[in-house]
Amino acid sequence: MSSEIKAPVLKTAVLGLGRIAWSFHIPQIICHPGFKLAAVVDPLPERLREAADKFSPGACFTTCDEMYIKLKPDLVVVASPTAFHKQQVLQAFEHGCDVFCDKPLSLSLEETDEIIGAMNKYGRKLMVYQPHRVTQEASAIKSILSEGLLGKIYLIRHSVASFNRRSDWQAFKKNGGGMLNNSGSHFIDQLLYLNQSKFSKINCELRAVATLGDAEDVVKTVITAENGVIMDLDINMAAAHEVSPWYIAGSCGAAVFDPESKEWNLRYFEPAELARINPQEGLAAENRSYFNGETIPWKTKVISNKDFPEIDFYGKCLEYFAGGLPPFVPVSETREVMRVISECRRAAGCGLLL
Ligand SMILES: NC(=O)c1ccc[n+]([C@@H]2O[C@H](COP(=O)([O-])OP(=O)(O)OC[C@H]3O[C@@H](n4cnc5c(N)ncnc54)[C@H](O)[C@@H]3O)[C@@H](O)[C@H]2O)c1
């Protein structure tokens, strides 16, 4: 779709030349014909020099103020540390630019509402980069959920686990760090996107365990959606063992993901094939048995991630920012992610117990 769009090339400025800008945004901007890397902004002159050598941007600036004096980009990509997002998004809107912002959009629901207010006031476009919507894994899950073999889905459990004594800015509360903001903004968005239902109830615990900072590196949250699905999310950076990443359960079966083979193993039954069993009336279990003797006619199916394409996110950006199509990540969905994050903090009492 993106390559078919006959639209003007978007003059694009990237704010921040760190991990995500360097490894993803700038290479994508350069390789997509719909974008031109008009400017980069970073307070570190050595990073600007490095960017000039490697990517030949139109111009390099140490501040956004300097950039807006010289240049009016069509699109501003915000890839700076999270604490700067709100101010940089608002400034871009004030200068008549649209914004593609890395996750999380801001530090809080209040900041997010301020940003949405400004977006409406200035009539600008805004989309947040949520890469976990476009993975093969996400497409495979969508297919499993829509195929219906598992019956009525009641549980989606996702665990992200590793051992990482985090020591960068993301480890500190004062920077808007912590795994709820950092990884939660990925995986909460992914769960809400896959389940397509707003949340109705949240339980959450936050702990700072292995981190060298003061922000949480263990997040345990159970989000109940309006459609009744329980979304059980663990983000654990203090995990000595690997944890099974996905378990999806429905009334007729379940799917587990094998991270080695990248395959989903489904075990399910056809409801029509179950034997008819009458519930026991009496208060003495028959045959002193805990079981009713039935054999479930299990079926199995294997689904591989490799059978699903990855979606090109910058193609989606072009469709929205230049092609006039609806946003792939609507801002209302971003607000819902920020609402869940805010509720998680409230439910956890913001307590960080060691
Ligand atoms: N979507 C993803 O997969 C993903 C992955 C990593 C990070 N992120 C998000 O991207 C943002 C950046 O994270 P990172 O890991 O790339 O950070 P980083 O620490 O690697 O880099 C931050 C860069 O921003 C620069 N910077 C600092 N202050 C700035 C300012 N006021 N204006 C412009 N640049 C400034 C720094 O000099 C540095 O070059 C964060 O919000 C983070 O949550 C998203």
pLDDT in tens, the chain (354 residues): 444 556 679 999 999 999 999 999 999 999 999 999 999 999 999 999 999 999 999 999 999 999 999 999 999 999 999 999 999 999 999 999 999 999 999 999 999 999 999 999 999 999 999 999 999 999 999 999 999 999 999 999 999 999 999 999 999 999 999 999 999 999 999 999 999 999 999 999 999 999 999 999 999 999 999 999 999 999 999 999 988 999 999 999 999 999 999 999 999 999 999 999 999 999 999 999 999 889 999 999 999 999 999 899 999 999 999 999 999 999 999 999 999 999 999 999 975 544
pLDDT of residue 180: 97
pLDDT of residue 348: 95
Q: Are 155 and 303 in contact (CB under 8 A)?
A: no
> What is the CA(141)–ligand 1 centre distance, in A?
29
Within 13 A of 223's CA, how many CA atoms are on the CB side? Answer: 30
> What is the CA(174)–ligand 1 centre distance, in A?
15
Q: Are 60 and 35 in contact (CB under 8 A)?
A: no
pLDDT of residue 8: 75
Ligand 1 test: best mutation among 23, 28, 42, most atoms within 8 Å of CB?
A: 42
CA-wise closest residue to 249 among 138, 174, 313, 154: 154
pLDDT of residue 227: 97
- In our burial notation (b when 16+ CB lie closer than 10 A, e otherwise), range 129-146 reads bbbbbbebbbbbbeebbe
Name every protein residue with a CB atom under 6 angstroms from any ligand 1 atom: 15-21, 41-44, 47, 79-82, 84, 102-103, 129, 131, 169, 182
pLDDT of residue 2: 46
> What is the CA(181)–ligand 1 centre distance, in A?
13
**Could you please report the per-residue DSSP string of 291-333?**
S-------EEEEEEGGGSPPP-HHHHHIIIIIT-PPPSS-HHH
pLDDT of residue 354: 42
> What is the CA(310)–ligand 1 centre distance, in A?
24
Distance from first CA to last CA of the chain, Å, rounded? 50
Protein residue with least CA distance to atom 41, ligand 1: 82
